[in-house]
Amino acid sequence: MSESAKIRILIADDHPAMCEGLMMLINRQPDMEVVAEAFDGADAVDRFERYAPDVGVFDLRMPGMDGIQAIAAIRDRFPGARILILSAFDQDERIHQALRAGAQGYLRKDVALDRIVQEIRDVYNGVGSIRETTAMKMREWKTRLGLSPRELEVLGFVVAGKSNKEIALVLNICEGTVKIHLNRMMRKLGARGRVEAIHNALKQGIVDLE
Residue 203 pLDDT more than 80? no
Ranked by mean pLDDT, the top range of 43-57, 103-117, 137-151 is 43-57
Are residues 150 and 182 in contact, defined by beta-carbon separation less than 8 angstroms? no
Domains of the chain: residue spans and CATH: 3-137 (3.40.50.2300), 146-203 (1.10.10.10)
Residue 82 corresponds to which amino acid? Answer: R
- Cα distance between residue 115 and residue 28, in whole Å: 14
Residue 129 pLDDT more than 70? no
Residue 204 pLDDT more than 90? no
E strand or H helix that includes residue 56: strand 55-58
Task: Give every CB contact of residue 196 below 8 A, 6+ residues apart in sequence.
Answer: 186, 189
* Alpha-carbon distance values, 153 to 81, 177, 200 (Å): 34, 13, 16
pLDDT digits (tens, 9 = 90+) for 151-186: 888 888 888 888 999 999 988 999 999 999 999 999
pLDDT digits (tens, 9 = 90+) for 56-108: 999 988 888 888 899 999 998 998 999 999 887 666 667 777 777 888 888 88
